[in-house]
Each structure stands twice: as C-alpha cells, then as structure tokens.
Structure 1
Amino acid sequence: MDANRPGFARGPWFTMNAVLELDGALDHSALAAAFHELQRRHDVLRTEIVDQSQLIHLAPTAELELVDAVETHAEVPLAAPVRLRLAGNRLALHLHHMIADPVTLWTTLDELAMLYSNPDAPPPAAQYSDYTLNEAALVERQRGPASDWWQARLTDAKPCPQPPPQPANPFAYREQLLTPHELAAVDQRTRQQRSTPLVTLLAALAAGMTPYVGAGDTLVFATLFSKRDRPQWQRVLGPCIVPSALAIPRDADIPAVREAVVGCSRYARFPILEADVPTRAPFFEYVPQNWPSGYHFGPVHATVAAVAGPKDTGLADILGIRLRPTTDNALTGHFSGDGTDWTEHLVSQLCSGTRTHLLSQSEKR
C-alpha cells in the first residue's frame, strides 16, 4: 500500500479513532494504571513495525496524555501504535491501523473500561500471534480449492475494463445516497430477499457502473473481509482483516451476487497477489453502523461521540467507494480517486445510477 501511495500506510494518520463522552470525572491514576496494564496484556499494543520486521517491546510504550482538548484524529507513530488522551469529560483512543481493525478499537475500549473497574480481570484468551499462526495453517489447507475458485472467477472470466483514461483532477468527497426513509425501504426489500445490505449495495453499484465500463462479464473490486470466524478470535486485538477481491457477475440479480460474495469471502484468505486481480480494480467497502451502546468506567458511563478511520491526506489512488449508514439512518458514501479513469463527474453519474437502481428495486416490494 505504501509503495503505491508513499506516506499513507506507514504514516501517522493511518489510524482508527474513537472519542467517548463521559458523564463523570475519571481518576487519572486509575486510568493510567489501566492503560499500562492493557498494553502489558497485549503484545500487539507494544508492536513497532520497522521495514519488514515486527518488534515487540517488553514494556508499554505509551502513557496516558492529559490534554486541554481532544480531536477525532490524532497522529500515531508506528514506534508506539496506541495513544490515549483525556480532556475533561472526553476520552480519545487512537490506534495505528497497522495493528488494529474496527473490532480492535471497540474491544480495546471495552477492556480498558474493564481494567479501570477491575484491575485483577482475567487475562486475554489469545494473542494476535495465535491468530496469525492459525491463519497461516488455513491458507495452506485452502490453497488448492481457493486457487481453483479464483481461477474460475477471475482468470477464466472476462473482467470489464475501467473507463478509458482521461485527464482529470484527484478528488475526495462525501455524499448522501439515501435518506433515512429511503434506506428503510431498501433494508425492507433486502430482508424480503433474504439478503444482506452488502449484497444489495453491490448489485446496485454494478448496475450503476455497467454503462461506463468496457465489455466483459465480471466486475472486479478490491475489498476487505473480516476473519474473526472462530469464538476465540472475537476479542483478539489486531487487524483480523484480509484484503481480497469481489468478482461480481455483470448485470446479475441478487441471488447471483450473493453467491459471488459468499465465495469471495470463503476464499479471501488465499493471498490476493496470487490471483489475477486487475490492477485498477476499484476499492469497495460497506461499513455497518455498529457503535457500542457505551462503556462503564466504574460509576462513570461513557458513550461514543465520534469515530473515524484514516485521515484523508490527499494521496488519491484508484477509485475508492466506502458506504455506511449514519447515526440518523441515512446512507452516505465517501468517494475518492486520482481521476485517471473514474473522474469526479463520472462518479457523480455512477452515484445517480446506483441510487436510481436502489430506489426502483425497493418500490417492487
């Protein structure tokens, strides 16, 4: 990632961030002790990435920071990949994305609150190293079937070329795709089809893209799959996500898209570089709204006030589409690109076509 976008993946803004609102005052010493114990219990929070090496420090590398104000984003150096900042009734946690995924963000806060309330809480059931060793074994066991599946879905298929290159400017912007009322209708249609929001949105996105891509039978996206599919991995801290591809039949109906998504997820662990993925495949991600209801630091209740992923540093790459429902149940998208093939004007047309498809399908219920 950093080779394609120098300074992005290794930079201090490639972070996972959450800000909590507190309904009371926290004991600074107890919070600092809980934060120290949290790092001691998890190797991944004491990890430094240097070139191709992973260094695990013996002692915690970060201290609680008492500040005047906290922001949603904060710089996090790879030498100390976790920061905890307290300003009055606001507590902010920042994790470098190299060592964290969204589940890690929430689980870290949950365990921090638990250690604040009970310093003698039981130790974690597993370390991230246990997860990675298990993943390596799964990759080897699945290599044959996965290779055959990706061969049929990608190598033997005819991926649709992206729009012809044309001079344009990089772009990055947010836009609401559906109002809360419209999203509720789409969700109802999704349930009637016994499908998922991811599948529904992909089918609509494929319909919106079809007029602008070249001849072929398959639309290919780059994406990420969460792989916490065993009970012991549910509370492991670390990036339990796999970069993979989504190979969606062009002009496919919901059952065909669902079948494609299931297969892509099943074989996502197969190293993506061994599959014949088009180099300009757009990135697509659907992020469900899954903020926790809150945390208890002893008698103090904390609610989630803000969440953010990596900060937009202006390092535009291939077309990126990230869709998520908001707290008021509207559907928004973050769209970015270098303008090489998918220009901002073309993406605007794509959004219009995707929205039209979603609304027309929901009206059929």
Structure 2
Amino acid sequence: MTPTPTAANRPGPDTNTAAPGQVRHLSAGQHGIAMQQQRAGDSPIFNVPAAIEIIGDLDIASLRRGLSELIRRHDVLRSRLVHDGPAFAQVVDEPQPALMTVHDLQDLPQQQRENAAHALLDREAARPFDLYTEHGLRLVLVILAPRRHVFFWTMHHLYCDGWSKSVFARDLSFLYAGRDTQLPALDADYGDFVMAQAQADAATEQDHLAYWQRQLAGIATLPGLRHDHPAVPAPQPRGAEVPLRIPATDRVRIEALARTRRATTFMVLQAALVALMHHASGQPDIVISVPYGGRPAAAFEPLIGFFVNVLALRSRVAGAMTFENLMDQVRDTALDGYEHHAVPFQRVVERVGGAAVLQQTSLAFANLPYQDIVLPGAEIRAFPVTRVDIRYELEWHVWEDDCSGGLGGRLIYRSDLFDESSATALATAYQQLLAAAANDAGRRIADLAAMLPVSAASLGHQDVLSGAAAGDVPAPPRTPTEEAVHDIWVDLLHRDEIGVFEDFFDAGGNSLLLAFLSARIREDLDAELTIQHLVGHPTIAAIAAAIDGAGTGERDTSAR
C-alpha cells in the first residue's frame, strides 16, 4: 500500500511548495519518460500542447498574474532535470513571473490571421524542450483582434498527465479571476508522491508483478498489427490523425449499456476496440494499453504532475461470443487490473517482456481543456493544434463533446506504418461497431464485424511479428568491435540473433540491464560509455562506433 502524505511524514515544513533548489528523485513513471526522451534525442515526442480561442474581454495582465501564481502553486512547473551521478534527478527552482510570449497578428489581413496562428502554434507544438535548462511549461498568446485571442500552452509529459490538464484549467480559471482563496489548499507536492512511491511495500509490489506476469504470459510471441508499410527504425515516428464522431443518440445507448452491464462508458469503448482489433488483425488475443489515474491519495488529486500509470489489459476474443460476453470479460479484466495498478508500467515490461506488443494500441478517455476553463466576460472555444507526438502505433482518444452532446475523438496513427485510407477505415469501423453494439449488445462479435469496412485481409499488407517485419534478417556484425558488443548483448539479453541496428530496449533490454551493459563494456572492452550515452545510442552499431572513435581520439562528446 502506498503511504498517504501527512504533515507528520512530509519532509520540511508543511507548505504546498518544495524548497527552491531542492533536488529530488524522479518517480518511476518520470524515469521511464526521461529514458525514452533521451533515446529520442531532440524530439517533441513527449510535448503535450493545448490551445483555446478566447472571444470577448481578456485582461492580459490578469492572465500573466494567474499563470505566475499557478507556477508558484505547482512546483513541477518550475522543475528541470539534473544528473545525479549516473541517474536522473530533478531540481525545483525559485518561483518567477510567468514567461508568456505574445504574438500580435492584427497587422495581417484578416483572412490570413487564423492561418498564420495555426502555422505559428503548430511550429511551437513541435519545438522540443531542453529539460536540463528550461522548465516543462511554455506559454504563448496570439492576438487576432481586440476581442479575439488564442492562448496556447505546452507541457512536457514528464511533468503532466491527462488529469493535470483539468487541474491546470480549473486553477487558472480561479487565479485569473482573483479568486485565489477559493482554491483548495495543497497538502502535498510532487516530491511527496515520489517519496511515497519509493516507500511502497516491496512484498506488495512483488504480488502485483506476479499478477501481471500471469496475466501477460506469452505476449512477446503475439503477432503484431498488419501494416501498410514495413516498420523501419526511426528516431522520431511521425503521427497523423483522423477524427472520431459518435452522435448523441449513440452516446445515450453506450451509457445505458454500461449501466446494464455494471460497467463504465470507458469499458464499452474498450470492448468495442477489442472487437475491432480482433476483426482487423484476425487474432483472438488482443492487448490494449490504457492510462490509469495513479493518484493513490486524495492529497495528490489537486496537483499537476505525472502520476498516471499504464495498464496492459488483455482480452481473448472468439467470434461466437456476444458483445455482452466480451463486455463482461473486459469489465472483469479491467477491475482486476485496477487492483494491481500500483506497480509502474516499466517494471511490468521489464518482468514480462513484449514491449513491442504493449506499444501497438492504446485507448484513452480524454478531457478537453476548453471545456474546463472559465474566464469572466469571455467565451472559450477549441482551437485545434497539430500534435506530432505518438508513442503507439495506434492511439485512440475519445472525449465527451459538450457541444454536440455526443462523443468526439481522434485516431492518431503512425504515418510511416499506415496509410490515411487504412486509418480512416479503422475510425469508420470503430464508430459503426460502437453504434451497432450499443443498439444490440446480444449480437455475436462475428455478426457485428461482418458489416465493417475493414478486415484482416483488407487492412495493410505487411504482417508484423513482435515488431519485426516478417522475413527480416537481423543485420550481422561488420567489424570486430561490433562482434564484441554483439556477444555482450547476446549474453545479457539471452538471445541468439540480434541485429546491429536493433534498439537495445526493443530487443528486451531495460534500465537495469543497461547498467550491466555499461559495466561489461568497461570490463570486456576497456571503454567508458556512460548510461546516458547508451540511452541516446542504443544500437550495437552506434556503441561500436563510439568505442572505435574513442580509440582514434574521435570520441563522441555525448559519451562524456
């Protein structure tokens, strides 16, 4: 059980902010993101952008003041990474006035202003963070007209999650209006969560890990999704998106079905996605990765920060099942998974393997910031921003659409793997399957799927097994150094064939094995490569090149 923060067990005085200059460890989830960000290099893969259009009165001075107080209130918004020996850590800086860049586009012809704003904010959304020199929050205000503005902010995922978006919106609404005293006092900060996670009972965590090991046994051998194009290793996979629109009449039926089956709306959405992935892949064994809130105590609920965990929920589908049967299975599996949510996802991956399978499909029930922000004297509307970040092959996002009364959403897909036509067909099929299942949940999965525009035969032409294109032959070592590094990998990863361009983590490595790899390189090859360098250069070819370069005086400075 995770300890609950109290005034008695918190470090330092009982205040809502960490002491400036305080260095603290990362949470397990943050550590995973920091590792992946370092692997991705100069990439916006973990940028979380959002924008709202403000129609009406806007007091820019009050907005700045509110943002400054928001940054003071939530210390993660003024935190940055530091190195603590070979490990990552974070330092909390002094509160400073909010830095908000203002772009006045009123001099442009009126018909050009909105296009210019979209282009400007799309560039801003794609601008990577330097997590060691800047904080994980950027603020931009675009002036389109005296009573028309666009407020844009980007947070790095290291310091926020989906819940944090609502906290950001609610707090800013109060602070902008000068209603600071109406906000709930903060009885904890993110450092308390890190400490509570570190103090979690080790025996209980082993019980959780044992559950996931049983639940996910054998997933590393599951076939992957069919792709339109072969998977090619890329430092920054690109995402594209197609919209989802579920009308109000279908939403009413979906919510009624959830009540009937003692489930949630999200579980209905998940069951429909499982049925679709079963039909589109032709496989009976489906794993969907879903976010789970991860705030183990009420004191953490008013905080901005990265608390969310990922749960890999596995379903076994047969065409003869009814949708009701599948819903009951999805509900029971989800409830069991929620009981074992406390173990960080990265530790589950390290224990069970199958990282490629766990990064194929995700589903999230999102919230929209424009529906949470209230500014007196102004109307708030959505202002779409192109997102370039993608961490799964297919990411399904659904939200409640207060304007239509239905559900909105989007399917974000890896555009290097899927054509737009395939993604559009999947999105259409999902909407149709949801509508049909909500209308008659007693129908068999096979009957529901028969009407869909996609099938295992029609979606894609590349069969992908465990993340590697069928028929791919691992590239062999080409130099003595590559051969030596290859032998170390084989020993550590217990695999016979590893290509020199294969990613260490995709091959089954984890942060602990990475430390062993660094030590083995030092002992066996008399070369010093830091863990930070290995994270950023996680292939046999890159490691061998760094070792050979060091021997000729051309060592990569990033290895120091």
Q: Who is 1:55 aligned against?
A: 91
Q: Who is 1:15 aligned against?
A: 48
Q: Who is 1:33 aligned against?
A: 65
Measured after TM superposition, the shift of residue 301 of structure 1 is: 4.1
- Tell me if the contact between 1:294 and 1:303 (Cα under 8 Å) persists in the aligned partners: no
Matching of residues 1-365 of structure 1 within 5 Å: 1-2=36-37, 5-9=40-44, 14-19=47-52, 21=54, 23-26=56-59, 28=61, 30-50=62-82, 52-60=88-96, 62-68=98-104, 74-75=124-125, 77=129, 78=131, 79-86=134-141, 87=143, 88-89=146-147, 90=149, 91-116=151-176, 117-118=178-179, 124-138=186-200, 140=202, 142-155=204-217, 160-163=222-225, 167=229, 172-176=240-244, 178-213=246-281, 218-251=285-318, 253-272=326-345, 273-281=349-357, 282-289=360-367, 291=369, 295=373, 300-306=376-382, 311-312=387-388, 318-326=393-401, 327-328=403-404, 329-337=406-414, 340=417, 347-348=423-424, 350-364=426-440
Measured after TM superposition, the shift of residue 118 of structure 1 is: 4.5
How far does the alpha carbon of each residue in 1:273-311 deviate from its partner, in whole angstroms, 9 at most, with x for none? 2342523322312224465755566xx345542266882
Question: Using the alignment, how far apart are the partners of 1:189 and 1:120 within structure 2?
Answer: 42
Q: Which has the higher helix share?
A: 2
How far does the alpha carbon of each residue in 1:256-281 deviate from its partner, in whole angstroms, 9 at most, with x for none? 10111122233233132234252332
Q: Who is 2:18 aligned against?
A: none
Report the secondary structure of 2:269's partner residue. Answer: helix
Measured after TM superposition, the shift of residue 235 of structure 1 is: 0.6
Alpha-carbon distance change, 60 to 343 in structure 1, aligned in 2, over 3 angstroms? same
Alpha-carbon distance change, 228 to 158 in structure 1, aligned in 2, over 3 angstroms? same
How far does the alpha carbon of each residue in 1:93-112 deviate from its partner, in whole angstroms, 9 at most, with x for none? 43222211233233233333
TM-score, length basis structure 2? 0.55
- Tell me if the contact between 2:50 and 2:152 (Cα under 8 Å) persists in the aligned partners: yes
Question: Using the alignment, how far apart are the partners of 1:121 and 1:171 within structure 2?
Answer: 40
Question: Using the alignment, how far apart are the partners of 1:168 and 1:136 within structure 2?
Answer: 41
Range that drifts further, 41-50 or 56-65: 56-65
How far does the alpha carbon of each residue in 1:30-68 deviate from its partner, in whole angstroms, 9 at most, with x for none? 443333333233221111235633232224274243432
Measured after TM superposition, the shift of residue 148 of structure 1 is: 2.0
Alpha-carbon distance change, 154 to 185 in structure 1, aligned in 2, over 3 angstroms? same
Report the secondary structure of 2:288's partner residue. Answer: strand
Which runs of 5 or more structure 2 residues have no equivalent in the other structure?
Answer: 1-35, 106-116, 232-237, 319-324, 442-560
Which runs of 5 or more structure 1 residues have no equivalent in the other structure?
Answer: none
Question: Using the alignment, how far apart are the partners of 2:166 and 2:248 within structure 1?
Answer: 25
Alpha-carbon distance change, 177 to 277 in structure 1, aligned in 2, over 3 angstroms? farther
Q: Give, as a single letter, the amino acid of the residue that structure 1 aligns with 2:336.
A: G
Measured after TM superposition, the shift of residue 19 of structure 1 is: 1.9
Q: Give, as a single letter, the amino acid of the residue that structure 2 aligns with 1:323.
A: V
Q: Who is 2:492 aligned against?
A: none
- Tell me if the contact between 2:287 and 2:361 (Cα under 8 Å) persists in the aligned partners: no
Alpha-carbon distance change, 247 to 82 in structure 1, aligned in 2, over 3 angstroms? same
Alpha-carbon distance change, 334 to 2 in structure 1, aligned in 2, over 3 angstroms? same
Q: Give, as a single letter, the amino acid of the residue that structure 2 aligns with 1:112.
A: L
Alpha-carbon distance change, 187 to 232 in structure 1, aligned in 2, over 3 angstroms? same
Report the secondary structure of 1:2's partner residue. Answer: helix
Q: Give, as a single letter, the amino acid of the residue that structure 2 aligns with 1:322.
A: H
Which structure would you say has the larger Rg? 2
How far does the alpha carbon of each residue in 1:137-166 deviate from its partner, in whole angstroms, 9 at most, with x for none? 347353122122112211167974224566
Q: What's the C-alpha RMSD, in Å, of the aligned pairs?
A: 3.6
- Report the count of equivalent residues: 357
Report the secondary structure of 2:241's partner residue. Answer: strand
Question: Using the alignment, how far apart are the partners of 2:198 and 2:386 within structure 1?
Answer: 27
Question: Using the alignment, how far apart are the partners of 2:202 and 2:259 within structure 1?
Answer: 36
Alpha-carbon distance change, 156 to 296 in structure 1, aligned in 2, over 3 angstroms? closer
Q: Give, as a single letter, the amino acid of the residue that structure 1 aligns with 2:189.
A: Q
- Tell me if the contact between 2:273 and 2:430 (Cα under 8 Å) persists in the aligned partners: yes
Alpha-carbon distance change, 212 to 158 in structure 1, aligned in 2, over 3 angstroms? farther
Report the secondary structure of 2:411's partner residue. Answer: strand
Measured after TM superposition, the shift of residue 4 of structure 1 is: 6.3
Q: Give, as a single letter, the amino acid of the residue that structure 2 aligns with 1:266.
A: E
Identity score, percent: 17
Q: Which has the higher strand share?
A: 1
Report the secondary structure of 1:286's partner residue. Answer: strand
Measured after TM superposition, the shift of residue 238 of structure 1 is: 0.9
Question: Using the alignment, how far apart are the partners of 1:258 and 1:303 within structure 2?
Answer: 39
Q: Give, as a single letter, the amino acid of the residue that structure 1 aligns with 2:327.
A: I
- Tell me if the contact between 2:367 and 2:400 (Cα under 8 Å) persists in the aligned partners: yes
Alpha-carbon distance change, 37 to 321 in structure 1, aligned in 2, over 3 angstroms? closer
Q: Who is 2:552 aligned against?
A: none
